[in-house]
Amino acid sequence: MKPICLALLGLLFTAPAWSDDVTDADSVESLHVLMHKNPGCGCCDLWADHLRTFGFTVESIEDPRILSFKAERNIPGPLMSCHTAVIDGYFVEGHVPANDILKLLKEKPEHVTGIAVPGMPLGSPGMEHPRPQDFNTIALLSDGTAYVFESHKAGDDFSAEEDD
């Protein structure tokens, strides 16, 4: 058989790169989060617990040089929070709800380098409070521009839904 025919046969029996099928190994790796946090910060640990309820694995590093870590990822000051996570090549800054991260990983929007919940809004995951605030998750693009990725209303439920 000619080499071109073998190559075409190989394409017929190979899942396309755009396929939605994800192997278990790919899925596990894409749900691994490496979180750098300010030393001693407790709300970061609560956010990590929130992610774990959605099936993420979270590795936490207390990083006294966290501002340098953020600068290396070109995270602008107005988007910063108390922790920065890295997942599947994206940065996740602050108290981003797990569903927003899952949306990012599924959609993989073009030119997005990461998402952020600036500051520490009351009522966001890890910042539970009786008087929650509205907040936005912001997407940062490689050219430095940003847009609202998701909007959240005060009192939104960020818990993992259980299958019935």
pTM as predicted: 0.80
Residue with the larger pLDDT of the pair 48 and 42: 48
Measured distance CA(35)–CA(38) in Å, rounded: 10
**Could you give the 3-state DSSP secondary structure of residue 93?**
strand
> Domain locations in the chain?
24-152
**Beta carbons of 33 and 87 less than 8 angstroms apart:** yes
Residue 49 has pLDDT above 50, yes or no: yes
pLDDT of residue 162: 55
Partners of 59 in the β-ladder: 34
CA distances from 15 to 10, 19, 27 (A): 10, 6, 16
Ramachandran region, residue 38 (left: φ > 0; alpha: ψ -120 to 50; beta: rest):
beta
**How do residues 89-145 score in pLDDT, each as one tens digit?**
999 999 999 999 999 999 999 999 999 999 999 999 999 999 999 999 999 999 999
> Class for domain 24-152, per CATH?
alpha beta
Which single residue is written with the structure tokens 């539970």?
128
